[in-house]
Amino acid sequence: MKKLFVIALAAFAVACQDNNKESNEPTFKGSISNVEDSTAIYLSQLGNTGQPQAIDTVMVKDGKFEIDLPKVDFETLNILTLEGGRGNVVFINENEPITATVYKDSLRSSKVEGGKSNQLFNDYVSEIMSLRKEMQKMVEQYQANNPNLRQNPALMQEIQQKQKELQENNTGKFQKMISENPQSLVSALILSDMMNGKSLSNNEFKELFENLDEEVKNSEIGKQLNETIQKASATAVGSKAPEFSAPTPEGEQLALKDALGKITIVDFWASWCKPCRIENPNVVKLYNEYHDKGLNIIGVSLDKNGQKDKWLKAIEDDGLTWQHVSNLQYWQGPVAQLYNVRSIPATFILDENGVIIAKDLRGEALRAKVSEMLD
């Protein structure tokens, strides 16, 4: 699965210090323990290119550092990294003074205070971490009672259903955060993460986006969100599935139009995706039962360049006897891009005319839909 946009930001390049800042600019004052003097702190900002751009470098002295933040017309997403450190500190520049307690060995756990948007960001991250801990605790409890948990698909489905219920509860909290803070860039970040997790319908995402303030929608993150929503509309239920053609394991081109049955599942997966591999036995059983009645499947793999052998081995090991394609370009694969796939497993269920009639169904929900159409 893909990592959350906000939490998974990588470390970025250094910049030179600018000594000509205006005296009334907001500041970021930080304290950090167990770090030698002259250790560099790097500041980057999400720029117009959609990639963080280096802004400033300061040095730690006596366990403290201070950065003059640039004044901004609207809030920006910023990242602090530490020389020789791993991870980063994410914060919002909202033209307010900021203070932080930075933890050298756990930068992402650093405490940042300053302004309403930074408080909202902290609240959001706390909710995410709480959800992750609760899910991990649940899995550990199941594993304690079932040592061979990974070999028990029914039990894994039970866990996934309970995790889905937890996520749905958090989705309501996140919707409330966005609705109550339409003026904050953080709302766009939350919405971006929710879209990655496919926690709502495209129409619901669109409504949340439309209710954001214009400054948020016109920010770089807002523009990316709008583009993603427009792409998602092209693969919404009721739309004609985008046509594509991609290489088969034998190196030939297979087009979607040539793979259609009465019902067709376009299944995005990869050999490295554990949830995909866990779900595969259920899909195999469904295919074997309904293929003669008109069910076709085309597997679209997001395996990486140079790892065709792993893709082919996974097909053989899991008994996936349907048609397969892959450009072996990971998340950059053109079919995944066309279908706006941002996490896997992802499924699109098409009727005989190639119209999308359902999305992202698994387990019993997928079986029920196929049965409804073919029995």
Q: Which tens digit of pLDDT belongs to each residue from 289-325?
A: 999 999 999 999 999 999 999 999 999 999 999 999 9
Confidence check: pLDDT of 356 > 60: yes
Instruction: Please give the structure tokens belonging to residue 87.
Output: 């991870």
Tell me how far apart the 2 most distant CA atoms of the chain are, in Å: 75
Instruction: Please give the structure tokens belonging to residue 209.
Output: 């986006």
Whether the CB-CB separation of 85 and 72 falls below 8 Å is answered with no
Whether the CB-CB separation of 47 and 71 falls below 8 Å is answered with no
- Tokens 């966005």 belong to 178
Confidence check: pLDDT of 9 > 70: no
Strands (E), the chain: 27-32, 40-46, 52-59, 64-68, 76-82, 89-93, 98-102, 111-113, 245-247, 253-255, 263-269, 295-301, 323-325, 346-351, 356-359
- Tokens 């088969």 belong to 248
- Provide the pLDDT for residue 49: 60
Q: Which tens digit of pLDDT belongs to each residue from 17-45?
A: 334 444 467 999 999 999 999 999 999 99
Instruction: Please give the structure tokens belonging to residue 321.
Output: 């006897």
Q: Helix 153-180 and helix 202-210: axis angle, to 10°?
A: 20
CA distance 266 to 348: 5
Q: Where are the domains of the chain?
A: 27-113, 117-234, 245-374
Helix (H) or strand (E) holding 275: helix 274-290
Instruction: Please give the structure tokens belonging to residue 48.
Output: 């117009």
Of 100 and 11, the structure prediction assigns the larger pLDDT to 100
Whether the CB-CB separation of 183 and 177 falls below 8 Å is answered with no
Question: Span 3-9, mean pLDDT?
Answer: 41
CA distance 347 to 144: 32
Q: Which tens digit of pLDDT belongs to each residue from 73-121?
A: 999 999 999 998 888 999 999 999 999 999 998 898 899 999 999 999 9
- Mention the CATH class of domain 27-113: mainly beta
Picking from 193, 324, 332, the residue whose alpha carbon sits closest to that of residue 271 is 324
What CATH number has the domain spanning 245-374?
3.40.30.10
Confidence check: pLDDT of 151 > 80: no
pLDDT more than 70, % of the chain: 92
CA distance 275 to 269: 9
Instruction: Please give the structure tokens belonging to residue 202.
Output: 């495209």
Residues 266, 269, 274, 275: is their CA dihedral positive or negative? negative
Instruction: Give Cα 332 to chain centroid, integer Å.
Output: 14
- Ramachandran angles phi, psi of 30, nearest 5°: -125, 150
CA distance 278 to 313: 15
CA distance 29 to 161: 44
